[in-house]
Structure 1
Amino acid sequence: MQRTRFSEMACSIARTMDVIGEPWSPLVLRDVFAGVHRFDQIQADLGISRKVLTERLNHLVEQDVLERRAYDARPRFEYHLTDKGVELVDLLMVMVRWGDRWLAGEAGPPVLYRHHACGEVSRVDLRCTRCGEPMHAGDVDLLPGPGSAG
């Protein structure tokens, strides 16, 4: 069965899903963000097959979300976030907020995030880049953009 290519759709959500929509990709990005950079470490942490992890890492490198850095002459590589990948982690932090609110249960969130600027444990909050006010689904209207499909 051939995979649908979302990258051709005139939709930013679909295009993003083409990059990270496979279920292992966000978890690979999470691990790399958390400092797990080597193939064997990522595989051990996720319990993912070598074949699937190789495919995911290759895809994320091709998409310029991760970069390979050699650390051994064999060759062996570490994986690090690119600027594009760091910005994708922002998206994952929004997912964390939702998961912490709706799925964490009585035990509470499994990870806390301390903000460098103030030193406090906090959560991501979506804000308008123009006025700084909160920006959530009920606060916006959808308008056709310059890249809309007719």
Structure 2
Amino acid sequence: MPGLQHNVRLFVDLAELDIQKIDEDLRNEKETTLSLLKEKEKLEKMAGEQKQQLDSMEKIADVLGQVETESSFGTITLDSLANYFSDLERTYGDDYKLYNLFCIACSFALPLFKRAFQGWDPLQNPSHKLDEMLMWKDLSDIWDVSTLYM
């Protein structure tokens, strides 16, 4: 009888160890599942932000392509160029600053300004193109002008 009791106790101890091992494995799996769910949520959020950024970049590129096309055909004006870039600044303010779109606007505007002020006599007509200049002043106000020349 003592041998039987010993064997039963041995089986009970082994079963208890198996249950403890299974319980520990189960807790580890739950922790792993939780951490994987958190990682999944973080990655989904990152993917959403990157998709939004990509969509913004595509829309900005479309507008810049349209500006380039109009510029190459010679149909763009200082007003329409300022409107394009003020819309970009209003809609995509952070990207506008990040990608330095004001400098791109200036590269398109410089030939137009040269043409607009060619032959201008400031003493005869001091308010020549004043409205356009005010639009461009508003566009440039968001920039620290000293950083444009660095």
By relative contact order (CA 8 Å, sep 6+), the higher-ranking structure is 2
Normalised-by-shorter TM-score class: under 0.3
Larger Rg: 2
Bigger helix share: 2
Q: How does the TM-score come out when normalised to structure 2? A: 0.25
Bigger strand share: 1
Q: How does the TM-score come out when normalised to structure 1? A: 0.25
